Amino acid sequence: MRLTFIKGSGKYDALHIERDGVVLEPIACPKQGIIPHDMVHYAVESTLAHRGFLSLVANGSPASFTTKGGDIENATERLVETFQAEMWGGRVAIADLVATYEHACEASGHAVVPVTAGDVEAIRARIDVLTAQWDKVPVRGSLSVTFPTGGACDILPGTASA
């Protein structure tokens, strides 16, 4: 599955998802001062092979805000949110990040998917690469990545086309 993030000039960026050669309806991504939310999903889900929003879409679910999963997908959403919070507030000790994630899962009433220190380091490394690439993308330019559906993932060259 190919994900193309397009940098907008206003309050939104966009995500175009191509699955089985078909481009699905674009998703508006509110700008938040860091990489787009669904790019954080990519970093988490492609690094850990955890099921979440992108995994659901890759397996045929609609690409919309109403896409719902079970405990694992909900736990992955909490992990994505935890990394976003860290991006806004600055790096914290790994134990603190994991504790925040576990607390968010507990508060939401669902299971915790185990996350190791190595997992956190790998996700942070992927977020760092994505952030560096996204920062170089001009307005109306794009950054594409492939989401694994049984294989490896890649960050593809972005384009600056309008």
Per-residue pLDDT tens over the stretch 102-131: 999 999 888 898 899 999 999 999 999 999
Low-confidence ranges of the chain (pLDDT < 50): 151-162
Contact of 140 with 7, CB cutoff 8 Å: yes
Task: Determine the structural domain holding residue 151 and report its residue range.
Answer: 2-159
Q: Give pLDDT, residue 54.
A: 81
Burial 77-114 (b: 16+ CB within 10 A, else e): bbbbbbbbebbeeeeeebeebbebbbebbeeeebebbe
pTM, entire model: 0.85
**In the prediction, which pLDDT does 99 show?**
96
Contact call for residues 98 and 19 (beta carbons, < 8 A): no
- Domains held by the chain: number: 1
